[in-house]
Structure 1
Amino acid sequence: MTLPVITTVRTRLTVLTPERACLMLDFYLRNREHLRPWEPVRDESFYTLDHWRQRLRDGYSQFFDGSAVQLVALDESGECVLATCNFTHIMMGMFKACHLGYAIDKEYEGQGLMQEVVGAGIGYLFNELGLHRIMASYMPANLRSGALLERLGFEREGYARDYLMINGRWEDHVLTALINPAV
């Protein structure tokens, strides 16, 4: 199995190797305040090169053991992360499903880039890995995320109270899923 390289109109998606940890660190430093309302509280170690080297080592291993595909969308030069698109908790067997999470650089929000990136990632998971279901959740206040998932064809399946600890407090989430029409 080789690392994916998925080309979209504006990006190239791949799984970053630990040697490229500086790209992830740069993305999260640039977007620290932008992402704060939608993510867990991050301690200062999250914003270090050592953290990102280890995290990319883990992601690389998870790709090869089949438990996750953590994609980054790089610009044309391959030197700047524009967005992330993570498919985690991949379970095969009779379930063939995973969870989806994503983030976009504040400078690219509202330009259709996240739909382009997540759509390409979904295509890879459905067509190359044969997954049947991709699940995603979003906070009701995150209207952009809800609209994105709807445009991508995700259907609402439920509502979970106090579902995830986000920015220091338990937040409700809308639960959605997308079923692979080809499987």
Structure 2
Amino acid sequence: MTSVHTDVLPGAISTVRLKLVPACERFTHELREYTIENRAHLQPWEPLRAESFYETESVRQRLCLMAQNNKSGVAVHLLLIAPVTGEIVGDCNFTNIVRGPFQACHLGFSLAKRLEGQGLMREALSSAISYVFDSIGLHRIMANYRPENVRSEQLLKRLEFEKEGLARSYLRINGVWADHVLTSLINRIPER
């Protein structure tokens, strides 16, 4: 089983307006602020969260787990940082990395409500996807969204994800079992 090693993870991926940095404990304060600021905005698309989810220690523990997952190669958790202010404005996560004949993962992402509509997530994901395909060597990225999440649908379409079907009662989101549209993006670069 091939895995991602810490020397393969980037120090940071720079885009025109963002830095994508691997999640680690040093961003506890920033991630907590982002999570609290965007709580209502993200709630319709996420599992129900206990109040403890927003506490500093809980955020620190999640970041430690993300860093551990990055190091072990089962995920690539990246935080979107505004270079000028140093604040977290979003995240993207390539999780459930499976090697062997599958070479695939799931993509999840979020962006601060106040920054929607500026093309920031497309900018971030374009670079992150290139990294996952070129440096990590994955063949397939799967991304699923609720049918009513038009923003995610449009973004994934712009990134050339293809619809593959509808999964009924797929994930328990915001307290209810929700259908999800299944999409994927295939690495078109021939194997080395």
Q: TM tier, shorter chain? A: over 0.9
Among 148, 161, 167, which residue is 2:174 paired with? Answer: 167
Q: Does 1:130 align with 2:115?
A: no
2:3 matched residue in structure 1: none
Among 138, 143, 155, which residue is 2:150 paired with? Answer: 143
CA distance in 2 between partners of 1:46 and 1:69 (Å) = 21
> What 5-or-longer segments of structure 2 have no aligned partner?
1-5
> What secondary structure sits across from 1:128 in the alignment?
helix
Identity %: 48
1:42 matched residue in structure 2: 49
Among 72, 75, 80, which residue is 1:65 paired with? Answer: 72
Q: Which moved more, 1:137-146 or 1:15-24?
A: 15-24
> What secondary structure sits across from 2:138 in the alignment?
coil
Letter aligned with residue 182 of structure 1? I
Whether contact under 8 Å (1:12, 1:78) holds in the other structure is no
Among 124, 146, 155, which residue is 1:117 paired with? Answer: 124
> What 5-or-longer segments of structure 1 have no aligned partner?
none
Letter aligned with residue 83 of structure 2? E
1:155 matched residue in structure 2: 162
Which of structure 1's runs of 4+ aligned residues deviate more than 3 A? none
| Shift in Å, 1:16 | 2.5
How many residues are matched? 183
| Shift in Å, 1:78 | 5.9
Letter aligned with residue 45 of structure 2? W
Q: TM-score when scaled to structure 1? A: 0.97
> What secondary structure sits across from 2:31 in the alignment?
helix
1:99 matched residue in structure 2: 106
Whether contact under 8 Å (1:13, 1:72) holds in the other structure is yes
| Shift in Å, 1:115 | 0.5
2:63 matched residue in structure 1: 56
CA distance in 1 between partners of 2:84 and 2:116 (Å) = 20
1:74 matched residue in structure 2: 81
Q: Give a deviation string over 1:11-63, Cα, whole Å, max 9, x none.
A: 00011221221111010001011111111101011101101111111111111
Letter aligned with residue 17 of structure 1? C
Letter aligned with residue 49 of structure 1? T
